[in-house]
Structure 1
Amino acid sequence: MDLDVLLSKFEECIQFQYNGNLDFNDTWGNKWTFYYHLGQIIWATGGIHPRRRWLRNIALICPHLDIDQFLLREEEMLIDYWDYLLLENLYHKKELNQTQFNDFVVKTVEEQLFDLVLAQQVNVSNLSWELKQDTILKTILSSTNTNIFIQEVKKSWDDWSSAGLSSLSPHLSPVLRQPEKLKQQVSTIVYKNFERLINGQHTLWDLAAKMQISIVSITKSLRPFIDKGIAEFIEVPDVQLLTKKVQQNSQSKSVRQNNSPLIVCIDDSLQVTKILENIVTSQGMKFIGIQDPLEALSILIENKPDLIFLDLMMPVVNGYQVCEQLRRISIFSQVPIVILTSSDGAFDRVRVKVFGATDFINKPIKKEQIFTILNKYLPTSSKTEYFPNFALSY
């Protein structure tokens, strides 16, 4: 696959206004995924050093955020597009604005495209590609232009190869090998900068972001020292992100002590969750209420409920987004998700199905509605044990 053939795959997605993801795999086991919305790239994941990329772009575009204070949930890292979800959550929490969100996406996509071209041109790696529609990301971008991305990556590759760097990867890390020889050739200030940065801890991508110069400029400036043996390029692993586990509370522990079905309700209304809790627990079942949808994912992964009630209209993240997110995770692919809505419109009935919901009920909640849903979607043994006097036909 030459460069023109490679880039033609992206152009075809523009032409057909594609929705879904475009995956590339190389012979070394690397994978690049580009997510499309109406023919435009809205995100890119995978590649080499994805965690380094996320951290350096946060530091570059959102310097006000304290990266050292980031504690990511282990469960979030199980999702292919974990980086997009984290960025989306920061946006909803108003930790970054629309411009910063857009800049982050553009920077990420440009790096991923350049990285993909390098894999094909530098490593002479055979690339395979595949279109998939199992993941449809909901974009909050103001706009993107994939044609501009394609033109930029062509220019970047021309600059890289014209500078004589076509045999190098920006994922390499420079390390100082002959410090005494370097002292004789540069000023004290330059030497101290070498000691601080050229230490095998930062890749060329990292250094370019720290110094806010182009990847071509930083690599060209280091090349003479590499040629003289004063420094060398080495391969380094991806960094680790600080993660945390959700602490089990007494309710979570009790859920695991018996085989009672577990029902979860995600609704920002405390009144609604309390009503559902009373109905569910009166039948001997376990119940967890979640008011903050941004906290829902980790709690759900930890407890693995048998059925989920999900409010449609919530601040920050709506029920469509939460439902779509859950359906992308294998352990929730078959879990019944029942939407709670105040709307009785036909449009919403169709839309909740599109986003993966199993069923829906209208508010205000009635006990008979909940019993019908539980009898319909819980295992037969649970119906017999918990609803012996309730009609099971529906």
Structure 2
Amino acid sequence: MQGNLNEIDICSILQLIELGQRTGQLWVEAHNSHQNHKLGGEDSLNLHQVGNGKPQSWFVFFLNGQIVYCQAGDSSLSRIDDYLRHYKLQKRPDNQLLTTLASTNSPEYAYIWILLEQNIISPKIARSIIHSLVHETLFDLLSLHQGSFIFDLGKALVPQLTTLEITPLVTRITKQLQEWKQLYPHIQSPEQLPVLADVGRLSASLPEATVNKLQSWADGQKSLRQLSRYLNRDILTVAKAIYPYVQQGWLQLVYSNTSKSNTTTQNYEQVDKSKGRIVCIEDAIAICETIESILKLNGYEAVSISNPLEALSLVFQLKPDLILCDIAMPELDGYEICSMLRHSTIFRFVPIIMLTGKDGFIDRVRASMVGATDYLTKPFTGKELLMLVEQYLNSDYGAGVQT
């Protein structure tokens, strides 16, 4: 069994494996979403890739339709070391033993068994680590919408320390992902790094013990995912705990390659804004390119973004004068994006024009309810697009809205 995730989602694949009580392994690789954030010849960051620029991938091992283990594709042992830190375990296996792990089909799992055999961890701790790693891997996989997969029937991963039923896990994690969405745009990715932004206000508002904890966590070196491992808590619990501080601006969340992000933002800001900067959020690449071409030919600065999740981060960097936003998109639809942006003072008065293939009264009413400025039905002509853009980018509109 193999295919692409735009044909069948991870949840359905897991259900098929569970119903068929299959034994083997599932390999999943995330694909680039072909973002088109071009401006002044500069490409923006691709947040779906790991730091070395390689696509992320995962392995899930099954026994009779139940999960035995989940492993990150890079075969790094750092995930397990993060959990060992939680248990304050200083002892490590002999280096010679560790060198043998590369020859196994699951180095992480073999590492856990070495730790068990050398009495560095107990079976209870080993099961807890496995449960946590399965949970965090499925959290990533169930939020993935672009990629490819291969399921191979084969021998089970041995020996087994525990097995996990798929349906209860998927139900629980799906609910968590729905709650995770509500944290946008303040919290966007488990790989973001918390950094203290206003120690003075933190100290004035929180107990000293809480401030000290935040200072030890939010050092710009540890990601939210790492913190969840150190604390042995799921990522949603950790994100919810810091969310009020991020919302207040006392904590900031950055990516590990912030320097590249800052450089890109500076390049954006250095471009002459001539007739105005417009961001188009649209998951159809062809439409993105068409809109971008029309706007640039008519003297506008245009940026197209085909991934709605990344759009929320980038629009805060770009500070556009007008936003074009498709309604029907995966992960986050246009209504959700518009509502989130309107909750920010930065975008309270920025014109947001919704793009959709539907021409129904209900859609227009719903767009208006979430704060959309206007509505453009696809397919539309270049003349229609430019007339609407010119209508809302003249100085009278902005002044009129704010009075």
Q: TM-score, normalised by structure 2?
A: 0.50
Partner of 2:191: 171
The structural deviation recorded for 1:86 is: 0.8
User: Aligned match of 2:79 in 53, 66, 79?
Assistant: 53
Q: Secondary structure at the match of 2:157?
A: coil
CA drift at 1:196: 1.4
Other-structure match for 2:239: 219
Q: Determine whether 1:98 maps to 2:102.
A: no
1:102-251 aligned at under 5 Å gives the runs 102-118=127-143, 120=144, 125-133=145-153, 136-164=156-184, 168-236=188-256
Counterpart contact for 2:193–2:253, Cα < 8 Å: yes
Instruction: Figure out how many residues of one structure are paired with residues of the other and give that number.
Output: 230
**Matches of 1:30 and 1:212, distance apart in 2:** 23
Q: Are the equivalent residues in 2 in contact too, given 1:172–1:204 (CA < 8 A)?
A: yes
CA distance in 1 between counterparts of 2:156 and 2:232 reads 33
Task: State which drifts further: 136-145 or 169-178.
Answer: 136-145
The separation in 2 between residues aligned to 1:227 and 1:48, in whole angstroms, is 34
Displacement of 1:133 in angstroms is 4.4
The aligned residue for residue 17 of structure 1 is 21
CA contact (8 A) 1:42 1:139 kept: no
CA distance in 1, matches of 2:9, 2:233: 30
8 A contact 2:186–2:243 mirrored in 1: no
TM-superposition CA deviations, 1:139-172 (whole Å, max 9, x none): 3225432222222222322332345579611221
Distance change in 2, residues 1:142/1:30 (3 Å): closer
Distance 2:94 2:76 in 1: 16
- Paired residue secondary structure (2:150): strand
* Cα distance in structure 1, aligned partners of 2:101 and 2:14: 28
- What TM-score does the superposition give when structure 1 sets the normalisation length? 0.51
Tell me the amino acid that sits aligned with residue 36 of structure 1: F
Superposed displacement of residue 191, structure 1: 2.2
Give the whole-Å Cα distance in 2 for the aligned partners of 1:147 and 1:35.
16
**In the aligned structure 2, how far is the partner of 1:101 from the partner of 1:223?**
30
* TM-align CA RMSD: 3.2
Alpha-carbon distance, 1:195 to partner = 1.8
In structure 2, the residue matched to 1:294 is none
Q: Are 1:44 and 2:78 matched, yes or no?
A: no
Q: Which residue of 2 aligns with 1:86?
A: 111
In 1: Cα distance, 2:94 partner to 2:210 partner: 32
Letter in 1 for 2:142: V
- Contact (CA 8 Å) 2:24, 2:155: kept in 1 or not? yes
CA offsets per residue over residues 6-28 of structure 1, 9 Å max, x none?
21101111222222210111114
- Residues 30 and 147, structure 2, Cα contact 8 Å, conserved in 1: yes
Cα deviation per residue 1:277-317 (whole Å; 9 max; x = unaligned)? xxxxxxxxxxxxxxxxxxxxxxxxxxxxxxxxxxxxxxxxx
How much does 1:130 deviate? 0.7
Gapped runs of 5+ residues in structure 2? 32-48, 50-54, 258-403
> What is the CA–CA distance in structure 2 between the aligned matches of 1:217 and 1:59, rounded to whole Å?
19
Distance 1:166 1:46, change over 3 A: farther
Q: Is the 8 A contact 2:224 2:238 kept in 1?
A: yes
What is the distance in 2 between the residues matched to 1:93 and 1:226?
42
Partner SS, residue 205 of structure 2: coil
CA distance in 2, matches of 1:161, 1:44: 24
Cα distance in 1 for residues equivalent to 2:193 and 2:155: 34
Cα pair distance change 1:70/1:146, threshold 3 Å: farther
Match of 2:12 in 1: 8
Q: Percent identity?
A: 17
The structure-2 alpha-carbon separation of the partners of 1:115 and 1:47, relative to structure 1 and needing over 3 Å to count, comes to farther
Pick from 10, 32, 35 the counterpart of residue 61 of structure 2.
Answer: 35
| Residue 73 of structure 1: aligned partner | 98
Letter matched to residue 102 of structure 1? R
Task: Tell me if the contact between 1:59 and 1:67 (Cα under 8 Å) persists in the aligned partners.
Answer: no
Note if contact 1:55-1:67 (Cα within 8 Å) is conserved in structure 2. no
Q: Distance in 2 between matches of 1:165 and 1:214?
A: 20
- Counterpart for residue 34 of structure 2: none
Quickly say closer, same or farther: Cα 1:210–1:142, change in 2 above 3 A.
closer
Consecutive unaligned residues in structure 1, runs of 5 or more: 238-394
* Conserved? CA contact 1:163–1:216, under 8 Å: no
Higher relative contact order (CA 8 A, sep 6+): 2
Shift of residue 34, structure 1, vs aligned partner: 0.2
* Contact 1:48/1:171 (<8 A) preserved: no
How far, CA to CA, are the matches of 1:49 and 1:82 in structure 2?
6
How many angstroms does 1:49 deviate by?
A: 9.5
Match of 2:252, SS? strand
**Does the CA contact (< 8 Å) of 1:47 and 1:115 recur in 2?**
no
CA distance in 2, matches of 1:173, 1:126: 25
